[in-house]
Amino acid sequence: MKYGLIGEKLGHSFSPEIHHKLGRYDYRLREIAKTDLPAFLTARDFAGINVTIPYKTDVIPYLDELSELAREIGAVNTVVCRDGKLYGDNTDVHGMISLIRRITPDLAGKTVLILGTGGTSRAAVAAATALGAKKTVRVSRTGRDGAVTYEDAYRDFADADFLINTTPVGMFPHAGVSPVDLSRFPRLAGVADAIYNPLSTRLLLDAKALGIPAENGLYMLVAQAMKSAELFTGEPVGENETERIWRELLFEKRNIVLIGMPGSGKSTVGRGLADRLGRNLIDTDDLIVRRAGKPVTEIFASQGETAFRDLESSVIREVSASGGAIVSTGGGAILRQENVDALRSNGVSVYLDRPLEDLVPTSDRPLADEIGKIRLLYEKRAPLYRAAADLTVPVRETPEDVINEVLEKLK
């Protein structure tokens, strides 16, 4: 391995994709047990590596030289081997600054709460300070190592202006929880979450519901990788490359979730998108039928709508745990907020808005098998679709036209 990433567990890393999109070198993952780390670093058989959990401090004793920034933070995430010597640096600060600047130009005069006390939190402190923060406050459950507790933060720093999460709370596979109650910080003007899996954590969903600008950690990941690439090769990487790679990666990793009335064209448009993009198509109603071993009409007839909705929620949770697919949902998927949140965790929700007069009843849809039922459903659900949608696409022309508009709006 000439270039790559070392860590203990690397199964969900996006780093190879990011570096390969830059196209300057081959980049690989290498999981290393703690007992094997000394031998790997002593051999110095690489040109440049990134370092992740739990080795950002463990590598330091083996390095010949540290950058001033890495020394100040006490953590290294980039190691370059030049002429047999190891040089350690930290590009997380650059990545964090880039992430914060997507939300606000600077933090001049602001009070910034930083959740967590690990290496990423130290990078966040350095980034916030570099952007002019008046005060940085680290927050942890115990309040040790110079941090305050969450209760202290609620009581003493309710007027905080910006919040950065560097804890793993809300990260896959334990998504759906938030480390903090954002409603208790009414002056927040921005939230940055270092987590990028899922793409929208509970923290970010809460922020957006409160109208607070918020971003996940994917841009930070790409920006720090580009800074590492500069250290690896000695050649600059422009901001336009960072933006390009981030946009490509985000598009590839997000599910495209189709919501809308029964008969709005979700299945047809879904198949077209899957074929066009070479992605897997997941139809949640089909999964429900396979799991139940009976058609939707029989589930409704024998078990009732509540049982169907419970099964639907279970399927949606599973489908939403990963990304990169086309997801076609049932017409009632948006009736439960837990489903809306799950679909948004790794996806962008697209409302296919077919006019009421173009919706046709069919016998396989128990709630939409008559025109009168469709009219009542439309009146009830149309506002819910609009509220759940990240974007709306009218369904008036051919499926191909709809597919083209979806892709145009997403890219």
Query: What Å distances lie between residue 303 and 76, 311, 321, 342, 377, CA to CA?
Result: 57, 11, 27, 24, 21
- Rounded Cα gap, residues 246 and 260, in angstroms: 29
- Rounded Cα gap, residues 330 and 311, in angstroms: 12
Phi then psi dihedrals of residue 179, to 5 deg:
-75, -15
DSSP states along 318-333: HHTTS-SSEEEPPTTG
- Rounded Cα gap, residues 380 and 192, in angstroms: 35
112: left (phi over 0), alpha (psi -120 to 50) or beta: beta
Joined together, the tokens standing for residue 166 give: 């560097």
> Which residue among 2, 9, 34, 56 is the active-site one?
56
- Tell me the residue length of the chain: 411
The greatest distance separating any two alpha carbons of the chain, rounded to the nearest whole angstrom, comes to 78
Nearest residue to 78 (alpha-carbon basis) of 129, 27, 17: 27
- Rounded Cα gap, residues 287 and 81, in angstroms: 51
- Rounded Cα gap, residues 69 and 61, in angstroms: 16
* Amino acid, single-letter form, for residue 110: K
Which residues pair with residue 168 across a beta bridge? none
Joined together, the tokens standing for residue 141 give: 């459950």
Q: 373 an active-site residue?
A: no
The 3-state DSSP class for residue 397 equals coil
Question: Could you list the active site residues?
Answer: 56
